[in-house]
Amino acid sequence: MRRPLALLAGLSAVLLIAAGGCRSGDSRADPTRPKVYRAGQRWDARLLELTPDDERQIEANARFAAGMIEELNDSIESALPHYQAAIHNDPDNEELILDVARKLIQRRRLEDARLLLESVANRPSAPGTLWAWLGTIHSLQGNPKAAIAAHQEAIRRDPDQFRGYQGLCQVYLEGSQPVLALETLQTAARRPNPDAAFLLQVAESMATLQRAHEPVVGDLRPAVIDLLHRIENLKPENTLERLRLGDLYQAQGQGPKALAIYRGLLETQPDLPGLRERLTDIYLRADDSEKAIEQLQGLAASNPTSSFPPFCLGLIALEAKRFDQAAQHFNHALDLDADDVQNHVHLAIALLSQEKVEPALEVLGRARAKFPHHFEIEFYTASALMELKRYDQAVRHLMNAEIIAGATLPGRLNYLFYFQAGIANERSKLYDEAARYFEKAIQLKPDFAEALNYLGYMWAERGEHLDRALQHIRKAVELEPNNGAFLDSLAWVLYQKGKPDEALLHQQRAIELTKEPDATLYDHLGDILHKLNRFDDARDAWRRAFEIEPKPELEEKLRKP
């Protein structure tokens, strides 16, 4: 294909010759060279021995240059006639035609672009690319029927160029016809001798179609994987094509295939951007932390200013409960990139995991000054404050987190968030609010045994909603029948409902199942036994509770007659 700027250079050379810009030191005539004209000599184009095609190309490039000058002066209206004349004189110059069409489309001159392309697209030599662009313009003008016809013509003219198939698929999808889009891609896949680049585009489009329309088009993974095998058999040498092939294998759940491709690339191009990150992801998904660490260390060595390697190393250490090591990695990541909020948040998580609550609060405080409205900062600040039993402050931060998430991240308001909020409010003696949060958690996860038990026990302790409390606790015990804490709750709500005989059996079972002696369980046992008039046994139970955790209320019970 001819390039307009290259032709402009040729035009400049011709003009230099015409102006006498080239002189020969040899006065002898050379019939193979164009004649040289000197200043003042009469111009006669015939003496240049230009063919009509040469003259049309020179005229085309002169008009293109004139159009560019007008466009540089922000006058597309004046430039357009020059561009049209350039195309008229050089209708086979695909790059020139598409360049002008793009300029018109960018300025929303869709009708001018359509007329321009239609003026040249019907030529027998016109490539399918022009028809594909014409189809795009028809789509932009809201004419899907014409767009389909144009893209079909693009495919007919250039069946091994993907642009026509791609445009046709887009029209069908815009018309809510994914099955026709699939048929188009299947037609493309059946081409007899496609190259790897063509098949990659088919495979990528088919994978995208499945993600968006699987209920209609069905499971396309076998077809996509078959395409990937065909591409692999073509042994593409282009680095980006091989990388895309690996990505597609990985997206289709073919980790070993992707791994082999990435490893091959690593041998020849160890510094290829994104490669080690991909390998790290595969190893982490396969729970092969050692190899993931190896890739991350290599990435850190090749790019020591990137915070990605230490951050991922921190995640691996955090998962392995190596909390001190995790904190070191996250601290390094934070030093490299203080503008990534996750470096702050995860350093705080690692510190909280080591029960270093005050340092975690300092990290979160600095993060809040930099990122004033961030859900995770508020949530983990509340968690830290609850460790310090500063429940009123924790409630405020959880409220902030709820407001932030409600506006921008509703998915963060899950059953665990509401459970945490319920605990903070209960500890702050805001019982109605606590109940509201626990009920939200149960609504989102009806089999959430911890929330069912916590809410039921809170009501039982206060002597409120005892029937509902019993219902919640029974469900929790059904879910975890050997949970001593849940059995204690069941015994206590039965005690509160005036059923000490039934309560006693569950309380004794709760104590049997609890490994570490618990003062509350023996305290409840003493209350139940006292209600049954077994005063000596009750005093023994309270004495055991007092030995575990001395409390004034237990001492008072022990003084009972």
Q: Which domain holds residue 453?
A: 447-561
Task: Give me the CATH number covering residue 541.
Answer: 1.25.40.10
What are the pLDDT tens digits along the chain (561 aa)? Answer: 433 433 333 333 333 323 333 333 343 344 444 333 333 444 454 445 667 776 777 777 787 777 778 767 766 677 777 777 777 777 777 777 787 788 788 888 898 889 888 888 888 888 888 899 999 999 999 999 999 999 999 999 999 999 999 999 999 999 999 999 999 999 999 999 999 999 999 999 999 999 999 899 999 999 999 999 999 999 999 999 999 999 999 999 998 999 999 999 988 888 888 888 899 888 888 888 999 999 999 989 988 999 999 999 999 999 999 999 999 999 999 999 999 999 999 999 999 999 999 999 999 999 999 999 999 999 999 999 999 999 999 999 999 999 999 888 888 999 999 999 999 999 999 999 999 999 999 999 999 999 999 999 999 999 999 999 999 999 999 999 999 999 999 999 999 999 999 999 999 999 999 999 999 999 999 999 999 999 999 999 999 999 999 999 998 998 876
Contact status, residue 261 vs residue 246, Cβ threshold 8 Å: yes
SS (H, E, C) 127-179: CHHHHHHHHHHHHHCCCHHHHHHHHHHHHHHCCCCHHHHHHHHHHHHHCCCHH
Quickly count: other Cβ atoms within 10 Å of residue 321's Cβ. Answer: 9
Q: Is 373 a member of any domain? A: no
Residue located via tokens 């011709």? 14
Q: Is 558 a member of any domain? A: yes
Max alpha carbon distance in the chain (Å)? 139
Q: Is 518 a member of any domain? A: yes
Terminal CA-to-CA distance of the chain, rounded, Å? 108
Domain total of the chain:
1
Q: Which residues contact 381 (CB under 8 A, 6 or more apart)?
A: 361, 364, 365, 368, 394, 397
Q: Is 560 a member of any domain? A: yes
Instruction: Name the residue among 170, 200, 202, 209 with its Cα closest to residue 187.
Output: 202
Q: Is 272 a member of any domain? A: no
Contact status, residue 187 vs residue 232, Cβ threshold 8 Å: no
Q: Is 475 a member of any domain? A: yes
| Token representation of residue 394 | 């924790």
Q: Is 532 a member of any domain? A: yes
Q: Is 355 a member of any domain? A: no
